[in-house]
Amino acid sequence: MKEEILGVQVNTENYDQLIPMLFRNIDDKKKSLVVAINPEKLMKAKEDPELKALLNRAEFQIPDGIGVIIASKLIKGNITSRVTGVDMMDRIVREAARTQKSIFLYGAKPGVADKAAKQLIATYPDLIVAGTQDGYEQDTSKVIETINQAQPEILFVAMGSPKQEQWIEQHRDNLYPTLYQGVGGSFDVLAGNVKRAPAAFQRFGAEWLYRLLKEPSRLKRQMNLPKFLFEVFTRK
């Protein structure tokens, strides 16, 4: 099920409900794209019809960020728990290892996707990584060829949003994989280049607070959250 927040469709399901939906599409050879939705993207999409349409065309929009949950509460919606991009990726990878579906990591600086792949294999020894490719190769047809030769069922693209979603949408008809997820900075997190907030902060959905404490200059960016909630509230 989906519900609309500031004109963008967002899935209401949790991880356990989404995984079978995603993998059924793989088995049915139905291509699908997973995009992470957060307040920042929703505010951008409000001003940018092109971006809004792009987000709405994705088959799955996951509620990343506590702001989306609060927004859903404000409009008396049904989204009760976060589905973060990096955790969704982890769940997909786990299920891919279990069902022997191969994955491909495309994006981030040279070496990062390889390191991320090693980390994933350490966690899920049965995982099949069909290949990796850094996100700075300018020759798109070369990238497409590399991915298609590897024949992965699942492609993770980590080039920042909305660049990664635009890339996927533009090329998916010519690509082998059936399941696509844009994962932003997740390869950097997996490779250990960027640290996630401690578990306690994650549990309370307060990663924003951790980041703010570490980087006070983020305050200006984070002031967008109240603005976002006000928009949602006055729209209903």
| Spatial contact of 222 and 208, defined as CB atoms under 8 Å apart | yes
- Nearer to ligand UDP among residue 11 and residue 133 (C-beta): 133
Question: Can you tell me which of 136, 204, 230, 233 binds ligand UDP, judged by CB under 6 A?
Answer: 136
| Contact code string over 183-222 relative to ligand UDP, x by CB under 6 A | -xx-xx----------------------------------
Report in angstroms how near the CB of residue 160 gets to ligand UDP at its nearest. 4
Q: Does 161 bind ligand UDP (CB under 6 A)?
A: yes
Site for ligand UDP in 90-109 (CB under 6 A): 107-109
Cα–Cα–Cα angle for 151, 127, 106, nearest 5°?
50
Does residue 160 touch ligand UDP according to CB under 6 A? yes
Interface residue with ligand UDP, options 105, 158, 168, 190 (CB under 6 A): 158
**Alpha-carbon distances of 10 from 4, 14, 101, 176, rounded to whole Å:** 6, 12, 26, 26
Residue 47 one-letter amino acid: E
Q: Phi, psi at residue 175, to the nearest 5°?
A: -110, 150
Question: Which member of 39, 63, 131, 135 binds ligand UDP (CB under 6 A)?
Answer: 135
> How open is the CA angle 66-70-76, to the nearest 5 degrees?
145
Q: Is the CB of 109 or the CB of 227 nearer to ligand UDP?
A: 109
Lookup: tokens for 43? 């505010």
| 90, 17 Cβ separation under 8 angstroms | no
- Residue 159 as a binder of ligand UDP (CB under 6 A): the answer is yes
Give the C-alpha separation, 66 to 235, whole Å.
19
Binding site for ligand UDP (CB under 6 A): 107-109, 135-136, 158-161, 184-185, 187-188
